[in-house]
Structure 1
Amino acid sequence: MRASSKEDPIPRLPQGPAFAGLVVTFTVVMLGATLPTPMYSLYQRELGFSPVVQTVIFAVYAVGVLGTLLLCGRWSDQIGRRPMLLAGVAFSLVSSVVFLVAGPVWVLLVGRLLSGVSAGIFAGAATAAVIEAAPEAWKSRGSAVATAANTGGLGLGPILAGLAVQFLPAPLHLSFAVHAVAVALCGALVLLAPETVTRAEHPRLRPQTLAVPAEVRAVFASASTAGFAGFAVLGLFTAISPRIVSEVIGDPNHAVAGLMSFLLLGASAAAQLALRRTDVDRTLNLGCVLLIVGILLVGLSVATASFVELVIGALVAGVGQGMTFSKGLAAVNARVDPAQRAAVTSSYFVVLYVAISLPVVGVGAASMAWGLETAGIVFCIAVAVLAAVALTALLVLQRRSAHQPDAVRG
């Protein structure tokens, strides 16, 4: 439902520019979440921390995301999208400023926590806002654009930061300075965007519950099953690909390390946009198959120190991740009431961020005990098995729902 603009003292952008501004803002904020990825080796060398500490740094980010989703995932349904998005922009800006002055490890932890809070706010509120702000000609593409902005931003962070670290001065500071300026400009775009929901007269700002409305539970079960597998692959690849490049393949180039995450996430974003009209069930199933193939290729690249297999694995897994993520979220958003959209979307992202966190924490600890090669191979096999289990569960759910009115259909 569109919010009323009566007595609005601020002139708002027209619908088309407002939609574009929200997409850009979503991309820029999520870009900040992955900017540090190619820098961890530099931080590790300067500060002397172990891979376990690097894992803790990521875990703090995940805590920020999950805590925010659980605390205020439904708030934008109550007080409006714009106030929550402005809060997310503010947390993203402060996170970049903290990284500009980062020194001790605890400062890095604070920066990552703030970044996680920002990403947690945007996961639900920005996804809902982009879908609702889409002009009529873009309505059918709104969900795909929102997920592509999310994933595309995550993919741009490592490659842009990697290029800056490798070829530009102030490798640990320049990227965050530029990002802080970009986020501040995006704040103006959010401020000028029209509100897309009617605010509650008496908002109830309670912590998020993971209850899903009955009418979308069958869809949500299928979507979250596939999405869990996709984000587990994403989490594992994000954790090990920079270290595979530098420690196993032996290439110290930071731009190449950033390129690996970009390839996976870029392939994911491209798949989300290209396959938006395909059948939901078949796309989710095929996505799981591609996740299995892609992550096994990554494991093979660890075993053989092969750069080519790592690249192919990233592209294949990226397409699979994009298919499972976007199709699942689109199917859920097509069924949910707009007044509950942010709450249900946030519940979906809670499942995904649990999935993305487990491999990162596990492989960081395991690499200390077993070494990176053994830990990487074991976890690649484990995540491939997880994707296979998800595929089996999808087939069972689809068979059951085929005889029910809530069946998932494309």
Structure 2
Amino acid sequence: MASTATTYLHDLHHEARPERMGSVLPGIVATAANLGGLASGPLVAGAAAEWLPTPLITTQAIFTLAMAVCLALVLCTPETVDLELPAAEPPSRFVLRPGGRRTFGAAGALGAFAFAILGLISSLGASVLHGTLHTDSHLVVGLAAFLMFGSAAAAQLVMGRLPLPRVLTVGAVVFPVGLVLCAVALYHPALWLYLVAVSLSGAGSGLLFKGGVERAGSVAEPASRAGVLAVFFVVAYLGMGLPSVLFSIALRHFAVQTAMIGFAAVLSCGAVVSVAVALRDRPPGPGALSAQSARPS
């Protein structure tokens, strides 16, 4: 749904405002919606666990209601895809512009590294808060995840109109700083420092993720844009899940502080290298995702 909705937003905006083909608004809304939803979920769950009866049932009921509303809204929106394409000419799902493989690889790496810390903190943050920072509040656990994802969305909104090189450069600086502070907060346990650390790392990851989306879209053939973004999101969500599993395995052999330092170093180096490659490679095709006007498959 994430990749399709991202493409759909661009198509809807182009049809409503054809004179604004180069607008960055659809990209800002799409990326902020992804991370804004990830931010609101833990906060609602934390509040429900803290104050509402039967929190597991309550949170699922809230989610079901929200999805029902979204379904009704989607059914009311117009179709932007040509459904009468000749059967003999099925559109390709994944086609990059010539010379776009390395750029797409860098974009996928940006998405994976950006989501790695988001997945790591959201999945293991409760254990860290309970075991290392000695916090028992479910609301605080949800607040930490909310600050992380919310900072990612806020950073995109604040810097969304800046040139992509500047966005990626700021992200490459803020992201490692947040990771270092996460490790420091575990060596010198302090709740306020941990919350600041996850906020900074979240802001950095949000900027890296935004740059990854734009780079991936810029090298996609217009008719395969949805498919290319789908692959990008698959890579990003693998980045969200796999490091969390590896971190859990590392905790069997190392202290949580040592494991965090190792992961912070790997993620920081990977993000910086990916940014360097993404900035060095110019998009091989004309325009970026927001400037592409062809309809997706």
Superposition TM-score, scaled by structure 1 size: 0.63
Alignment equivalent of 1:154, drawn from 30, 34, 38: 38
Give the superposition deviation at 1:315: 1.1
1:350 is aligned with what amino acid? V
Asked if 1:130 is matched to 2:9, the reply is yes
Alignment equivalent of 1:268, drawn from 152, 158, 162: 152
Alignment equivalent of 2:256, drawn from 362, 375, 379: 375
Q: Does the CA-based 8 Å contact 2:48-2:58 persist in structure 1? A: yes
* Alpha-carbon distance between aligned partners in 2 of 1:292 and 1:377, rounded to the nearest angstrom: 16
CA pair 127-408 structure 1, distance change in 2 beyond 3 A:
closer
Q: Does the CA-based 8 Å contact 2:215-2:278 persist in structure 1? A: no
Can you list the C-alpha shifts for 1:292-349, whole angstroms capped at 9, x where unaligned? Answer: 1111211121222211221111111111011111122123334534421110101111
Q: Give the aligned partner of residue 356 of structure 1.
A: 240
Q: Give the aligned partner of residue 65 of structure 1.
A: none
Give the superposition deviation at 1:243: 1.3
Q: Does the CA-based 8 Å contact 2:97-2:284 persist in structure 1? A: no
* Alpha-carbon distance between aligned partners in 2 of 1:390 and 1:203, rounded to the nearest angstrom: 42
Give the superposition deviation at 1:195: 0.7
Q: Does the CA-based 8 Å contact 1:230-1:288 persist in structure 2? A: no
Q: Give the aligned partner of residue 19 of structure 1.
A: none
Asked if 1:233 is matched to 2:112, the reply is no
1:45-194 matches, cutoff 5 A: 122-134=1-13, 135-136=16-17, 139-194=23-78
Q: Give the aligned partner of residue 386 of structure 1.
A: 267
CA RMSD after TM alignment: 2.9
1:28-43 matches, cutoff 5 A: none
Q: Does the CA-based 8 Å contact 2:96-2:219 persist in structure 1? A: no
* Alpha-carbon distance between aligned partners in 1 of 2:133 and 2:179, rounded to the nearest angstrom: 17
Can you list the C-alpha shifts for 1:17-65, whole angstroms capped at 9, x where unaligned? Answer: xxxxxxxxxxxxxxxxxxxxxxxxxxxxxxxxxxxxxxxxxxxxxxxxx
Give the superposition deviation at 1:151: 0.7
Asked if 1:347 is matched to 2:231, the reply is yes
Alignment equivalent of 1:195, drawn from 66, 73, 79: 79
How many percent of aligned residue pairs carry the same amino acid? 31
* Alpha-carbon distance between aligned partners in 2 of 1:182 and 1:165, rounded to the nearest angstrom: 19
* Alpha-carbon distance between aligned partners in 1 of 2:271 and 2:153, rounded to the nearest angstrom: 21
Can you list the C-alpha shifts for 1:108-146, whole angstroms capped at 9, x where unaligned? Answer: xxxxxxxxxxxxxx1211111122112426943101100
Q: Give the aligned partner of residue 287 of structure 1.
A: 171
Can you list the C-alpha shifts for 1:213-266, whole angstroms capped at 9, x where unaligned? Answer: 326435423322322221122122222211111121111110110111110100
Give the superposition deviation at 1:380: 4.2
* Alpha-carbon distance between aligned partners in 1 of 2:216 and 2:184, rounded to the nearest angstrom: 35
Q: Does the CA-based 8 Å contact 1:133-1:196 persist in structure 2? A: yes
**Where in structure 1 are there 5+ consecutive unaligned residues?**
1-121
* Alpha-carbon distance between aligned partners in 2 of 1:408 and 1:383, rounded to the nearest angstrom: 34
* Alpha-carbon distance between aligned partners in 2 of 1:238 and 1:303, rounded to the nearest angstrom: 20
Q: Give the aligned partner of residue 365 of structure 1.
A: 249
* Alpha-carbon distance between aligned partners in 2 of 1:304 and 1:383, rounded to the nearest angstrom: 16
Q: Does the CA-based 8 Å contact 2:111-2:236 persist in structure 1? A: yes
CA pair 144-376 structure 1, distance change in 2 beyond 3 A:
farther
CA pair 382-191 structure 1, distance change in 2 beyond 3 A:
same
Give the superposition deviation at 1:286: 2.3
* Alpha-carbon distance between aligned partners in 1 of 2:197 and 2:61, rounded to the nearest angstrom: 33
How many residues are paired up? Answer: 283
User: What SS does the aligned partner of 2:168 have?
Assistant: helix
1:127 is aligned with what amino acid? T
Superposition TM-score, scaled by structure 2 size: 0.84
Alignment equivalent of 1:319, drawn from 203, 211, 219: 203
